[in-house]
Amino acid sequence: MNTFQPIIDALLDLDKQRVITLVRDALNNQVSAKDILNQGLIAGMDVVGERMEKEDMFIPEVLQAAQIMGAAVEILKPLLGEDSASANGRVVIGTVKGDLHDIGKNLVSMMIKSAGLEVHDLGVDISPERFVEAIKSKDAKILCMSALLTTTMPMMKRTIDALTESGMRNTVKVMVGGAPVTQNFAREIGADAYAPDAGSAAKAAKAMVQP
């Protein structure tokens, strides 16, 4: 049996206590926090997504699974950090307008912070105007956008356009990500970087601010 199956099953059963206990047990057995996150919790959320699609699971249950995942991530957080070498750079991050998914964005935010960058997390449902305002007021050098819906991906392009109109496009690097986002899409909309997961997003952000 897959070592992580009990965590996946407990998440699908919406049994928070069991998920927490299994995550702690795995850590005590020297399983890495990264593997628990990717092969246990994220894999479990993928099944949640499939069930949601087939209408075997409904929004309140999906929210509950997301909340349980959040609680488990809190335990893993201190162990997920990359090295904390300080890299000078301010980052503005958020989920684009119309999109309320924030679990992945929160992970990206956390990993970038632990890579030594200053992160201003605007939250979810962020309009192009709000992104631009925040970049201006924080004097940020990196803009990170997350989208989980194919219908909200175009907001990434709209935001890059707003950044161009504000005259700041040349001074700000843009990174995009989220399950439906691809490297090709990132290129098409004129983003500077795409990252498939939180770890590579942190690496890419750090590389962007290093001279």
Residues in the site for ligand B1M, rule: CB under 6 A?
A: 42, 45-46, 48-49, 52-53, 59, 62-63, 66, 98-105, 107-108, 144-146, 148-151, 175-180, 195, 197-198, 201
Minimum CB separation from ligand B1M for residue 71, in Å?
A: 12
| Beta carbons within 8 Å of 165's beta carbon, 6+ residues apart | none
End-to-end Cα distance, the chain? 47
**Nearer of residues 26 and 147 to ligand B1M, judged by Cβ:** 147
Element (H or E) spanning 143, and its range? strand 142-146
| Beta carbons within 8 Å of 161's beta carbon, 6+ residues apart | 128
**Nearer of residues 22 and 176 to ligand B1M, judged by Cβ:** 176
| Beta carbons within 8 Å of 105's beta carbon, 6+ residues apart | 93, 94, 95, 121, 124, 146, 178
Minimum CB separation from ligand B1M for residue 149, in Å?
A: 4
**Nearer of residues 9 and 197 to ligand B1M, judged by Cβ:** 197
**Nearer of residues 28 and 79 to ligand B1M, judged by Cβ:** 79
* Nearest CA-CA partner of 91 in 125, 128, 122, 130: 122
Exposure string over 88-121, b if 16+ CB within 10 A, otherwise e: ebbbbbbbbbebebbbbbbbbbbbbbbbbbbbeb
**Nearer of residues 75 and 149 to ligand B1M, judged by Cβ:** 149
Minimum CB separation from ligand B1M for residue 170, in Å?
A: 19
Minimum CB separation from ligand B1M for residue 9, in Å?
A: 16
Minimum CB separation from ligand B1M for residue 179, in Å?
A: 4
